[in-house]
Amino acid sequence: MSVIIPDKIIESAHLSEEELKKEIAILLYKSGRITLKQASDFAEMNRIQFQHLLASRNISINYDIEDFKSDMETLKELGRI
């Protein structure tokens, strides 16, 4: 799916295309609609860069007990614990 945003909207918001993509990624991530990986990919940033962007806006990382359990299983599978 493609969304066309008129140049006038972007110009009136004083955003570049890159900045707009970051703003959309932040909004979708903050609302829990996409994952950290999806958001960082959409913003065309690596995960750490995107986490720094979130931190600069005082936005917490969405990480719950299910994420923790999944990470623990992955570590077990990799023989790290």
Which pTM value belongs to this model?
0.75
pLDDT of residue 27: 97
Residue 45 CB: number of other CB atoms within 10 A? 18
Q: What is the pLDDT of residues 30-51, one digit of tens each?
A: 999 999 999 999 999 998 999 9
HEC string for 12-80? HCCCCHHHHHHHHHHHHHHCCCCCHHHHHHHCCCCHHHHHHHHHHCCCCCCCCHHHHHHHHHHHHHCCC
Q: 55 near 47, Cβ under 8 Å?
A: no
Domain range annotation of the chain? 7-77
Q: What is the pLDDT of residues 55-65, one digit of tens each?
A: 999 999 988 88
Q: 40 near 14, Cβ under 8 Å?
A: no
Selection from 53, 62, 63 nearest residue 26 by Cα: 53
